[in-house]
Amino acid sequence: MKKLLFIGICGLLWGSQAKAQFSLSGELRPRTEYSHGYSTLAAEDQKPSVFTSQRTRLNFDYKMDLLKVGLVLQDVRIWGNQAQQVSNEDFATSVHQAWAEMNLSKTLTLKVGRQELNYDDQRILGSVGWAQQGRSHDVALFKYAKKLNVHFGIAHHENTNRKNNIYDGPDAYKDLQFLWINRKTEKFNLSFLFLNNGKPVMVGTEQKSKYSQTFGTHVEVPVDKVAFTGHLYFQTGEDGTNYSLNAYNLMAEATYKASEKSQFLLGYEILSGTDYNQTEKNSSFTPLYGTNHKFNGFMDYFYVGNHLNNVGLSDAYLKFVTTKNKTTFNADLHFFASAAKISATADNYLGTELDLTLTHTLNPATKIAVGYSQMFGSESLEILKGGSRSAFNNWAYLMITVTPKFL
């Protein structure tokens, strides 16, 4: 009898787990970079630097009928910045993601916890996959899915001190709310985004949030061999220095599919800026929490870091990609100019950047990528960034990405 009962219990447990799925995967991504003018122009006598960074991740995923759970543990380091016999006290593994998504109804779910936010082309909200540490948010996300996909996210940050509500933590906002509405068909993909961003500012002994609003639309329209993509965003409200904010971001692209394995992309983007002598308002658009490395050149001269009250950017670019067997080659050419006046006499032209990338798939779990970039800067870029345009400003990298699936 006991034996039959034991077999019955095991059968029930096995049956309940048969509908659930558990997966365990990983990522190891060492990247060696050569830098002589990365992100800013090199000085005339500057020596190049070479360093290796590595991202290591362990991904746990659990799925059942009414629940999904995700956990991503992460370690990011520079080779050599820790002793060989280091303890875990100061260099512990961090939690990149830890969330649960539960069904509230047939069309509504709630995803709560630390999670990546990726929307549309990731211009405003993205995971910054190129950066070894990536980006994730502590947020509650309501998701409605039917003909329309509607996401509403809300986040509020506080310190552990329960005697006040002053937030002086490391994040860029104290309060965040966003609404994303998407409609996708065979003929188009159209999205609308509204984001309310509250930055904490001390006014005397009291902390107040200065709110800015970013809103706009993203659209994708395929037509035969040509695909059109674009977005238009506006920013209003206040910045952290009490200036009124009035800025915009416009992007338009056309992708031509020359063959099954090759395509060309022609695009233009402008991010509004503030003239050097403008003091009454802020006209500089900030892409907030987007994947900025994806745009405006791989050397990260623009919009990777703080760009409050900057002169903006105009970026005309041509891209080519082709694939043969297991190898993909990319060539990108960017022509940069400021969107606002740098000075009374400075020219708006900033420079030209060439980005070359070669990616080869060794096996389903291993890729090798090598890249080379060159910046041909102008005198105006010297004014903005410092350094010397006469120096040989280049950057290269070699990256290996291994993504094993353990279970």
pLDDT digits (tens, 9 = 90+) for 220-262: 999 989 999 999 999 999 887 778 999 999 999 999 999 999 9
Query: What is the distance, to the nearest Å, from the Cα of residue 304 to the centroid of all Cα atoms in its chain?
Result: 10
Residue 3: its H or E element = helix 2-18
Which residues of the chain fall short of a pLDDT of 70? Answer: 1-19, 88-91, 305-309
pLDDT tens sequence across 291-330: 999 999 999 999 986 555 689 999 999 999 999 999 999 9
**How much is the pLDDT for 309?**
65
- Using alpha carbons, list the distances in angstroms from residue 280 to 8, 209, 237, 274, 384: 76, 20, 14, 10, 21
* pLDDT digit string, tens, across residues 265-288: 999 999 999 998 988 889 999 999
Rg (CA), the chain: 24
Residue pLDDT, tens place only, 351-361: 999 999 999 99
CA distance 189 to 314: 25
Question: Residue-wise over 156-177: b if at least 16 C-beta within 10 A, else e?
Answer: ebeeeeeeeeebeeeeebbbbb
Cβ-count burial of 151 within 10 angstroms (0-12 exposed, 13-18 middle, 19+ buried)?
buried
Question: How much is the pLDDT for 91?
Answer: 63
**Amino acid identity, position 98:** A
For residue 108, give both structure tokens. Answer: 């509504």
Give the pLDDT of residue 189.
97
SS3 (DSSP) at 47: coil
Rounded Cα distance, 336 and 240, in Å: 27
Q: Residue 325: left if φ>0, alpha if ψ -120 to 50, beta else—which one?
A: left
User: How many whole angstroms separate alpha carbon 165 and alpha carbon 161?
Assistant: 8
Task: State the pTM of this model.
Answer: 0.91
Query: What is the structure's pLDDT at 278?
Result: 87
Spans of all domains in the chain: 18-402
CATH fold group of domain 18-402: Porin (2.40.160)
- Which pLDDT score, from 0 to 100, does residue 12 have? 46
Nearest to 290 by CA among 126, 81, 402: 126
Nearest to 42 by CA among 382, 391, 401: 391
pLDDT of residue 13: 44
